[in-house]
A and B are shown apart, each in its own frame.
Chain A
Amino acid sequence: MAAGEARLMNGDGPMVRVEAVARHYRLGRHVVRAVDGLTLQVMRGETLGLVGESGCGKSTLARIMCCLEAPTEGRVLLEGLDLTALRPRQMRPLRQRLQMIFQDPLASLNPYQTVARIVALPLQIRGGLTKTAVRDRVAELLGTVGLSAAQAHRFPHQLSGGQRQRVGIARALACDPRVIVADEPLASLDVSVQAQVLRVLQELQERLGMTAVFISHDLSVVSHVSHRIAVMYLGRLVELGPARAVIDEPRHPYTRALLAAVPRIGRASPLPPSLLEGDPPSQLESPPGCHFRARCRFHQTEACHQTDPELETLEHGHSVACHLAKREIH
């Protein structure tokens, strides 16, 4: 990583960790549990993929991780330092260590600022660089993400979707972050542009050894960039493990269903019958037992109706929150 503050906390510990994090909203009489008692950590240099349907809370979790939103419960630790315990004034200088790449690049770039201004902002906030130094660094960053110097004077609406997203990435990199959280960075892009931006991200991953969280509903993309994959459902983690393992040998019924639903080139028709019942329920209901019960097509046991399964490690760092999965291996 680049030079800058070198205040390493734990050399071996996780880079970022969210502990028992929850985010509740009050909606009239109901409480919406966008994120519910979730614990997750990302190791140094690792890319963790986070998947789930819309409404599962992954964007909320992303914002909590970047301290852009305060959790109702739980802590966020960066290299061992509890960020949630800090006051806003103390937090501010540390903010650049956790950077987010947003889903909609048009919304995440100020329409009244040029690309140069947008990318220079983190440098200016950090201070300590001359105007020339800032300008040079901006040019360097634009080059890293594959934008030409000519683009520096354009406004966001003059750029294509892919270019805008690259600006977002450049801005995040300008912060010399410890962790980058990419919230559906490819979602609003065309297929061929997705591949271009994906390559930028992959190159950065290789060259800089970035620690990253890659959020997407697109399982194919996630499986290509992640070392580990976490699957979220209704604000909780239902499966977590090495990317290969989760994709090739999914243990949770939800993961299985998601994977089965992904259309694959070369897979012969007919369409496989969908393994998921119904539409995703709202986060308002919380009947007793496993939260996934209502949509699970597998044969359900007593336990499924009574208790919500905890995330338990089955083997090789592969954890599942499912009563059935735990029984299978015994």
Chain B
Amino acid sequence: MAQSLADRRPNGEMAAARLGTMRLLLGNRVALASAVLLIAFVAMGVFAPWLAPYDPNRQHPEAIRTAPAWQSDGNRDFVLGTDGLGRDLLSRIIYGARVSIALGVVVVLLTMVVGSGLGLLAGYFGGWLDAVLSRVADTLLAFPFLVLALAVMAATGPNLIALVLALAFKGWVDFYRVSRGDVLAARHADYVTAARGLGASTPHLLFREILPNVVPPIIVLAALRMATVIIAEASLSFLGIGVPPSIPAWGTMVADGRADIAAAWWIATFPGLAILVLVLSVNLLGEGLRDALDPRMSL
């Protein structure tokens, strides 16, 4: 599939350009591995009902705090062991992927669209819009995230929508700043001036000239932010103000396993490892995207 980069036939120049991007991404082995891992996690979440051996909330009173299967006091029925209520860890981890990824995606999409959109407008039109929005953004940044989240969750109780909003509250500011900065830079670029000189309309300038330059850094930021959101959600769940307890979430599981960390280390460790691996792969993918998406890097 990958054409040789030196192959420059007249037809398919466009294809060569796109393939160059793919090739760069594929060539970056770390990014590739991360992408594969991420897909595995997503698949895990999607196919959870078929993959998980047990219902994640089902308690097995006879097998409370069972060690992982490979240990001497383990049990083959529960591969990664069970927690303090006898729930199968493996199943809970598999189902937990849903929460982490779904929340991550939703929150990131929300903050990305809102933040970048506002940044685009603020950067292009400037004036009072920029002044107001930027002050709001700066003020929000001053609030510590946990305090804000605590306030929101305490007010509404365990509620997924509220959780999403709490996570998104400050998240849009990063997107706002990045897109505003890029727009400011692009606005004065000669190619935008040239387009203006051609009689291009404002929507054209915004969406056809400036936006394509803003998108790649935003996508990279989105990937990196996803990692932050996953950790934030895990932290909130750990504190007990995140996902409602009936839904298995890695953060909650870590919190549950805290007390048993000495005797039944697996209860907190495996969910912790899951968080680690997911966040790491998302981060690495983000880094790989950064290189792949700059058209100047390819070919």
Which residues of A are interface residues toward B (Cβ below 8 A)?
63, 66-68, 92-96, 98-100, 102, 104, 107-114, 121-122, 125-126, 149-150, 152-155, 157-158, 168, 171, 175
Contact = CB atoms under 8 A, between A and B. Distances in A.
B17 interface: yes
Contact of B193 (A68, A112, A149): A68
B295 A95 contact: no
The number of chain B residues touching the other chain, given as a range, is: 20 to 34
B197 A111 contact: no
B195 A95 contact: no
Interface in B206-228: 209, 212-213
B191 interface: yes
Given A108-B193, A153-B17, 15 more contacts: A66-B197, A95-B197, A96-B198, A96-B199, A99-B197, A109-B194, A111-B295, A111-B296, A112-B212, A126-B199, A155-B17, A155-B295, A168-B194, A171-B194, A171-B198
Contacts of A107: 189-191
A102 B193 CA distance: 10
B127 interface: no
A93 B209 contact: no
Contacts of A113: 212
Given A110-B212, A150-B13, A157-B296, A122 B191 contact: no
Contact of A92 (B13, B199, B213): B199
B294 to A, nearest CB: 9
A68 B190 CA distance: 11
Given A108-B191, A109-B191, A153-B13, A121 B198 contact: yes
30 contacts: A67-B197, A68-B197, A92-B201, A93-B199, A96-B197, A96-B198, A98-B197, A99-B197, A100-B197, A102-B194, A107-B189, A107-B190, A107-B191, A108-B190, A108-B191, A109-B191, A109-B194, A110-B195, A111-B213, A111-B295, A111-B296, A122-B199, A149-B10, A152-B13, A153-B10, A153-B14, A153-B17, A154-B13, A158-B17, A175-B198
B198 A125 contact: yes
B299 interface: yes
B196 interface: yes
Contacts of B191: 107-111
Contacts of A155: 17, 295
A155 to B, nearest CB: 6
Interface of B: 8, 10, 13-14, 17, 189-191, 193-201, 204, 209, 212-213, 295-296, 299
A152 B12 CA distance: 11
A110 B209 contact: yes
A158 B299 contact: yes
A95 B200 CA distance: 9
Main SS at interface, chain A: helix
A126 B198 CA distance: 9
Contacts of A95: 196-199
A158 B13 CA distance: 11
Nearest to A66: B197
B14 A125 contact: no
Instruction: From B8, B199, B209, B213, name the one whose CB has the most chain A CB atoms within 10 angstroms.
Output: B199
Instruction: From B17, B195, B213, name the one whose CB has the most chain A CB atoms within 10 angstroms.
Output: B195
A81 to B, nearest CB: 16
B123 to A, nearest CB: 17
B17 A104 contact: no
Contacts of B299: 158
Nearest to B10: A150
A134 B225 CA distance: 42
A87 B86 CA distance: 75
A52 to B, nearest CB: 20
Contacts of B10: 149-150, 153
A121 B195 contact: yes
Nearest to A148: B10
Given A107-B189, A107-B191, A108-B194, A125 B209 contact: no
A150 B14 CA distance: 11
